[in-house]
Amino acid sequence: MGIYDTLNTQQKKAVLQTDGPVLILAGAGSGKTRVLTHRVAYLIDECNVNPWNIMAITFTNKAAGEMRERVDKIVGFGAESIWVSTFHSSCVRILRRYADRLGFDNNFTIYDTDDSKSLMKDICKRFQLETTQLKLRNIMGSISRCKDNLVSPEEYALSTNNEYNKVRISKAYTEYQNALKKNNAMDFDDLIFKTVELFKTNPDVLEAYQDRFRYIMVDEYQDTNNAQFELIRLLADKYRNLCVVGDDDQSIYRFRGANIRNILDFEKVYPDATVIKLEQNYRSTQEILDAANAVISNNYGRKDKALWTDQKDGDKVKLVEFDTGEDEAKFVATDLGKLKRSGKLNYNDVAVLYRTNAQSRLFEKWFAAEGIPYNVVGGVNFYSRREIKDILAYLKVIDNGQDDIAVKRIINVPKRGIGATTIEYVQEYAIERQISFYDALCEADQIVAVARSASKLKDFVTMIRAFRTKAKSYSVEDLTKDIIDVTGYMKYVETLDEDEEDNSGDNSRKGNLDELISAIVEYERRVEEEGNETPSISGYLENVALISDLDRVDEDGEKVLLMTLHSAKGLEFEHVYLAGMEEGVFPSYMTLQCEDSDPEGIEEERRLAYVGITRAKKHLTLTAARRRMVRGETMYNRLSRFVTEIPDNMLENAKPQSSKPAFLFDDGESIDEYEGVESTYGKSRRSSSFDDYDGPSLKSSYQNKSFGSNSGVSQLSNSYKLKAKPAPKKPRAVPQSKPYIAGAAKTHSKGSLAGLSKGMPMAASKPDYNVGDKVSHIKYGVGVVTSLEEGPRDYKVTVNFDDCGQKIMYAAFAKLKKV
């Protein structure tokens, strides 16, 4: 039997369709990696395509390495010549050859988020760009979005319409790009932004790469942004042999700039495209897939498809509801302990998934109490730790003397008696002479203001020059060890406070430095084995800069993984606990706040739920708490719509840990005494009272003017039954569920449950702003109030923000400040 005979019909079709534009809609667990590797092998083996002419883009370095290994096993040769890498790695390789065409040296530094933030702080201070109202993160977020959409500083300046904040962002953007160029540095967004600029301004370079990449494949196409779309469009424009693989139902990175329209509109861009669907799932049981299909079918913006599998007779999806988040975490810990003791699982086959990182705390507490080993994915990044960034900064300065941010980081680390005032004088001298900060240090004896510190500055320069000389003959490992030794850094870290925030984790700082050396040794070994380049400082720094979150997932050891749903993308586990399945938690409260003005937000949250469900291979447990502590407040939330969209017959409803919600109104009166509430809180939502209901939708009951009455609450409870619908039908609307704040209910009589039903805190008084006033929000920046409506519990505010458009929110939560 040939290697292609092991593929199913649709997989084989995807492998054999090699010419022209091809869209492969690959559902979760449908074997897309297998298809891609067999497709590459088919091009080489059967179509006689030179491996040199094949490009494959993946979203993680780990995926790129796995693809190359698999192809090598199939074809036996040529795999090393295939260009397999991530978008950013590909762009770095191109820019290392042609950055000089854009005015950079080819050994440019890649700035991480902290480097970029430090640079922007300097710019805002130097140009007096006040950041109290317009936060630094808003400025940087706007610049990042500009680059994702290929908008240059000059183009952005033309679009400000003299709006105050946009003018300030424009100034910051211009000066930020100037400073990056002066430092011979690019930030992460620049890597693609500048490569597209290179291709558009240098037709000869573009054509050279078009002729090389005659067959292009792109994985995870649903997560591409506009800049990535344009990059691929340019490269594929000559030969048009473009194959994109993705699943619109798993597009979950809109907050990072991903544009789902790239995959949904592929056939509009390429009208002659061949579309192939991979719907057979090889990961999960049919019971899990049925639940996933039921949830995602409620989305409008998707291509119609449904996952299926030959794996029958699996367990139903389990739903367990609790009184508190504490109870939820305790249950998961004890349940895992029981299953482990009975030999039904290994800890490394388990993942606990949640919407936000903050939810991990209770699980960590109870896992520790139960003695369950765990690893929190997405904690403090190893390469973000203070001691690691310090040593990497030394390597950056040795490699690129123009990097002002790196020089300033280490000039007094370990302490050399060089203070902030001295650094400021040197900076002023550098700006006045239009030279780099390091070059200014080299001229320290000419700076009158730093005469007393000149010898210390010159000693620092002498040390860096000595390291640069050693770098010509030392390995990266030996040079790094020499830096730690010569600078006395190991003794320095012993004096640091071990309890500082950036040193969270089990390892000491000295242990982290040892681990850094190990990572460098591993890098040098891998590069030498591949034989494509020589290990170097710039190569290692590039390797560190391009490591993604998923590349860092530690799958070794007998540990349960705790991670956000976004971190779980691309992974699979025998047992999955999907926690916090409540309105206001998942979907998130901010998404519910903006549901009217941004309906796509709910669709993205639903796709995230779909991703979470499809991580499970055999066992999936959904958990929810009726109340949980959020930012110091007790929130009461209804069951998530992503649970209610799953039909009753697909769920095994486990008995809740307690039958009552454990909060009281006045003088010991339980909320269970009131009509209608028991069916929502006291009993399972699968109560028989729901089964025959065919009344109004939740939207209509939510908008009922008598919503605060007992009958209104009863109507809400009875209408809470939702059935899954096929994609073409309009999903039944669900209210913007808002969390209830403990204590607010005491302002109401027994007969009025408006506080619970609406789930909002009572605003103390009318806000101090009116329609037409300019206000500031901690996340969205500055905007103008366009509407202010008084409600039964709070004021509903509509604001047109300068940077992100219209948002609708409630005054008590928005915490808007009048500008």
pTM tops 0.85:
no
What is the band of 654 on the pLDDT scale with cuts at 50, 70, 90? low
- Token pair of 289, please? 């897939």
Q: How many other CB atoms are there within 10 angstroms of residue 703's CB atom?
A: 12
DSSP state of 650: G
Is residue 251 within 8 A of residue 260, CB to CB? The reply is: yes
- Say which DSSP state 82 is in: S
The active-site residue, picked from 39, 147, 389, 615, is 615
Tens of pLDDT, residues 565-594? 999 998 999 999 999 999 999 999 888 888
The pLDDT of residue 661 is above 70: no
Alpha helices in 99-187 (DSSP H): 113-126, 136-148, 153-157, 164-182
Would you state the structure tokens that stand for residue 672, as one six-digit string? 């269970």
Q: Tell me how far apart the alpha carbons of residues 246 and 27 are, in angstroms, rounded to a whole number.
A: 8
User: How far, in Å, CA of 259 to CA of 233, rounded?
Assistant: 15
Regarding the domain delimited by 109-183, which CATH topology (the fold level of the hierarchy) does it fall under? Arc Repressor Mutant, subunit A (1.10.10)
Report d(CA 145, CA 169) in Å as an integer.
12
Buried b (16+ CB within 10 A) or exposed e, 331-361: bbbebbeebbeeeebebbbbbbbbbebebbe
CB contact at 8 A, 57 and 242: no
Domain residues of the chain, as ranges?
Answer: 3-95+194-282, 109-183, 317-379+557-758, 382-495+520-527, 774-818
Which segments within 366-519 are labelled E, that is strand? Answer: 374-376
End-to-end CA distance of the chain: 73
Q: Which residues contact 441 (CB under 8 A, 6 or more apart)?
A: 407, 411, 426, 457, 458, 460, 461
pLDDT tier, 680 (very low <50, low <70, confident <90, very high otherwise): very low
In this structure, which amino acid lies at residue 398?
Answer: I
Nearest to 58 by CA among 38, 80, 86: 86
Listed residue (591, 610, 535, 578) closest to 247, CA to CA: 610
Find residue 24's DSSP bridge partners: 245, 276
Q: What is the mean pLDDT of residues 645-661?
A: 71
Instruction: Tell the residue number behind the tokens 């003017």, with chain if given.
Output: 705
Q: Contact at 8 Å (CB) between 252 and 604?
A: yes
Higher pLDDT, 756 or 131: 131
Q: DSSP letters along 172-204, please?
A: HHHHHHHHHHHTTEEEHHHHHHHHHHHHHH-HH
Instruction: Please tell me which residue in 10, 11, 32, 617 is annotated as part of the active site.
Output: 32
Q: Is 627 helix (H, G, I), strand (E, B) or coil?
A: strand
Instruction: Tell me, yes or no, if 220 is annotated catalytic.
Output: yes
Of 693, 694, 692, 699, which is closest to residue 641 (Cα–Cα)? 699
pLDDT digits (tens, 9 = 90+) for 148-172: 999 999 999 999 998 888 999 999 9
How many beta carbons lie within 10 A of that of residue 790, not counting itself?
11
Percent of the chain with pLDDT over 70: 83
- Long-range contacts of the stretch 514-521 (C-beta < 8 A, 24+): 515/382, 516/388, 516/391, 516/480, 517/477, 517/480, 517/481, 520/476, 520/477, 520/480, 521/477
CATH 1.10.486.10 fits 382-495+520-527, yes or no: yes
The predicted-structure confidence for 507-555, as pLDDT tens digits, reads as follows 478 888 988 998 899 889 888 887 778 899 999 998 888 876 555 565 5
Q: What is the percentage of the chain residues whose pLDDT exceeds 90?
A: 58
Residues 6+ apart with CB under 8 A from 6: none
Please give the full DSSP string across 391-418, using - where no structure is assigned.
Answer: HHHHHHHHH-TT-HHHHHHHTTSS--S-
Model pLDDT, residue 793: 61
CA distance 569 to 548: 12
User: Average pLDDT for residues 749-761, to the nearest whole number?
Assistant: 35
The catalytically annotated residue of 58, 224, 228, 250 is: 250
Q: Are 322 and 624 in contact (CB under 8 A)?
A: yes
- What φ, ψ does residue 414 adopt, rounded to 5°? -60, 165
DSSP state for residue 280 in the 8-state scheme: B
Q: Do domains 3-95+194-282 and 109-183 have the same CATH topology?
A: no
CATH topology of domain 3-95+194-282: Rossmann fold (3.40.50)
**Residue 488 burial class via C-beta count within 10 angstroms: exposed 0-12, middle 13-18, buried 19 and up:** exposed
Mean predicted lDDT score pLDDT of the chain:
82
Q: Which of 148, 189, 220, 328 is catalytic?
A: 220
Please say if the pLDDT value at position 48 is more than 50: yes
Is 250 an active-site residue? yes
| 715: confidence class by pLDDT, cuts 50, 70, 90 | very low
pLDDT at 294: 97
The per-residue pLDDT for 319 is 97
SS (HEC) of 313-345:
CCCCEEEEEEEEHHHHHHHHHHHHHHHHHCCCC
Q: How far apart are CA 797 and CA 815, in angstroms?
A: 11
Output the CA torsion sign for 260, 261, 267, 273.
negative
Whether residue 718 is predicted with pLDDT greater than 60 in this model: the reply is no
Whether residue 316 lies in the annotated active site: no
User: Is there a catalytic annotation at residue 33?
Assistant: yes
Q: Which of 12, 17, 18, 33 is catalytic?
A: 33
Distance CA 106, CA 97 (A): 6
Instruction: Tell me the HSE value of 629 on the side-chain side, using a 13 A CA sphere.
Output: 7
> In terms of residues, how long is the chain?
819
Residue 632 has pLDDT above 50, yes or no: yes
Distance CA 175, CA 180 (A): 9
- The yes-or-no answer on residue 6 being catalytic is no
Are the CB atoms for 789 and 796 separated by under 8 Å? yes
Q: Beta strands 795-801 and 805-810: pairing type? A: antiparallel
What superfamily does domain 317-379+557-758 belong to in CATH? P-loop containing nucleotide triphosphate hydrolases (3.40.50.300)
Active site residue 615: yes
Catalytic position from the list 219, 349, 399, 678: 219
Express each pLDDT in 328-373 by its tens digit. 999 999 999 999 999 999 999 999 999 988 898 899 999 998 999 9
